[in-house]
């Protein structure tokens, strides 16, 4: 792991960012069955249980465990953890509101704006400028964004592919506006962890945030599910196991790598999140592999997918090469 006192290393940051994108891409295909067969509250409850299970896994190193205990033992950290938790919950609720009456491709477009918001957050909070010229940043961002949207469009099922007129109607009258702050909340949470909890190992800081959410959400969701007589999950054992595995891989290990990438780049959230435009393409490929066992998963190998993937790859390659040429920035 990079030491927070060392200068920035964009080559190492690229590696961690790519790893983060791959780990994040496992979330959707692994959680597909659970999302279809469980209620929203059941899904949230099991997600939090999975994150609780992941705490010993991400803090397996003795130094991580010591940092976790030290972090949770300091009352001065409680307010910071509460703020980060509130930001995360706000993003989750807004995402659910936004998706309730909006076409998925519109929500995907909003979420793919993350690099722009993340770069603004890094600049305003961490005083980290973008590592390339504005023309290169916005040019590569536009290429990666368009490529990610092409990939997302290629993977929508026939029933979800509305005509452009219907898509425009969803844009004008849908609930997508609620999703606008979601990428901002995600970027802000990651940046604040890096700023406020930088003296602790990334895995310990992430585990502490999981623990705070677990303490609040697991008892409350279990109580509500009990009141509703929804604590029985039927015979959805395969769906639950896959969802827990996907949550541990993506939301837990992936989040740790995301924080490590931020440390390696000196808090350059715009650089790190640029690589998350790879997630739609990687998700499609993982879905292809899992479709041998999960019949409802599909992968559409149409020209949109290959053109979009090529555009994402070219944009990220150019962006990385330009960033690597910058002199190391002192921490």
Tell me the domain boundaries of the chain: 10-324
Token readout for 59 is 């803090």
Separation of alpha carbons 203 and 206, rounded Å: 5
User: Alpha-carbon dihedral of residues 31, 22, 213, 176, nearest 10 degrees?
Assistant: -70
User: What pLDDT, in 10s, does the model give residues 1-29?
Assistant: 444 455 788 999 999 999 999 999 998 88
Long-range contacts for 94-101 (Cβ within 8 Å, ≥24 apart)? 94/178, 94/179, 94/181, 94/182, 94/185, 95/178, 95/179, 95/182, 96/40, 97/175, 97/178, 97/179, 98/175, 98/176, 98/177, 98/178, 98/179, 98/180, 98/182, 99/175, 99/179, 100/175, 101/174, 101/175
Tokens 């504005």, located at residue: 134
Q: Is 40 helix (H, G, I), strand (E, B) or coil?
A: helix
Judged against a pLDDT cut of 80, whether residue 42 lies above it is answered with: yes
Instruction: Note the pLDDT of residue 302.
Output: 82
Who wins on pLDDT, 235 or 262? 262
Instruction: Note the pLDDT of residue 2.
Output: 44
Burial 224-261 (b: 16+ CB within 10 A, else e): ebeeeeeeebeebeebbebbbebbbbbbbbbbbbbbbb
User: What pLDDT, in 10s, does the model give residues 192-235?
Assistant: 999 999 999 999 999 999 999 999 999 999 999 999 988 887 77
Q: Is 208 left (phi over 0), alpha (psi -120 to 50) or beta?
A: alpha
User: What pLDDT, in 10s, does the model give residues 114-173?
Assistant: 999 999 999 999 888 888 888 999 999 999 999 988 888 887 765 555 555 555 665 666
Average pLDDT over residues 68-87: 95
Instruction: Note the pLDDT of residue 32.
Output: 85
Q: Is 74 helix (H, G, I), strand (E, B) or coil?
A: coil
Quick one: which of 51, 48, 32 has its CA closest to 225?
48
pLDDT above 90 covers a percentage of the chain that reads 57
Long-range contacts for 96-102 (Cβ within 8 Å, ≥24 apart)? 96/40, 97/175, 97/178, 97/179, 98/175, 98/176, 98/177, 98/178, 98/179, 98/180, 98/182, 99/175, 99/179, 100/175, 101/174, 101/175, 102/170, 102/174, 102/175, 102/176, 102/179
DSSP for 176-226 reads: GGGGTTHHHHHHHHHHHHHHHSTTS-HHHHHHHHHHHHHHHHHHHHHHHHH
The pTM for the full model equals 0.87
Lowest mean pLDDT among 16-20, 123-127, 282-286, 289-293: 289-293
Token readout for 130 is 């973008």
pLDDT above 70 covers a percentage of the chain that reads 89
Instruction: Note the pLDDT of residue 156.
Output: 73
């Amino acid at each position: 792991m990079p030491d927070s006192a060392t200068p920035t290393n964009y080559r190492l940051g690229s590696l961690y960012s790519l790893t983060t994108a791959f780990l994040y891409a496992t979330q959707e295909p692994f959680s597909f069955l659970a999302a279809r067969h469980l209620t929203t509250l059941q899904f949230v409850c099991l997600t939090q249980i999975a994150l609780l299970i992941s705490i010993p896994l991400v803090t397996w190193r003795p130094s991580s465990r010591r940092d976790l205990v030290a972090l949770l033992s300091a009352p001065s950290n409680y307010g910071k953890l509460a703020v980060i938790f509130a930001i995360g919950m706000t993003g989750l609720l807004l995402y659910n509101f936004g998706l309730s009456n909006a076409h998925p491709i519109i929500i995907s477009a909003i979420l793919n704006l993350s690099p722009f918001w993340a770069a603004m957050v890094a600049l305003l909070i961490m005083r980290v400028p973008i590592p390339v010229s504005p023309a290169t940043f916005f040019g590569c961002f536009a290429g990666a964004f368009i490529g990610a949207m092409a990939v997302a469009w290629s993977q929508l099922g026939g029933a979800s592919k509305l005509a452009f007129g219907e898509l425009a109607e969803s844009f004008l009258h849908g609930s997508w506006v609620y999703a606008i702050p979601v990428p901002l909340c995600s970027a802000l949470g990651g940046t604040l962890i890096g700023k406020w909890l930088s003296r602790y190992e990334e895995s310990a800081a992430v585990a502490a945030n999981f623990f705070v959410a677990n303490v609040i959400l697991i008892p409350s969701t279990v109580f509500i599910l009990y009141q509703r007589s929804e604590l029985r999950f039927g015979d959805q054992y395969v769906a639950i196991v896959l969802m827990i595995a996907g949550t541990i891989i993506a939301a837990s290990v992936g989040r740790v790598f995301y924080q490590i990438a931020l440390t390696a780049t000196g808090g350059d959230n715009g650089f790190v999140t640029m690589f998350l435009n790879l997630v739609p393409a990687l998700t499609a490929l993982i879905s292809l592999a899992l479709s041998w066992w999960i019949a409802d998963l599909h992968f559409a190998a149409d020209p949109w997918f290959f053109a979009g993937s090529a555009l994402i790859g070219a944009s990220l390659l150019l962006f990385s090469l330009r960033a690597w040429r910058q002199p190391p920035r002192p921490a």
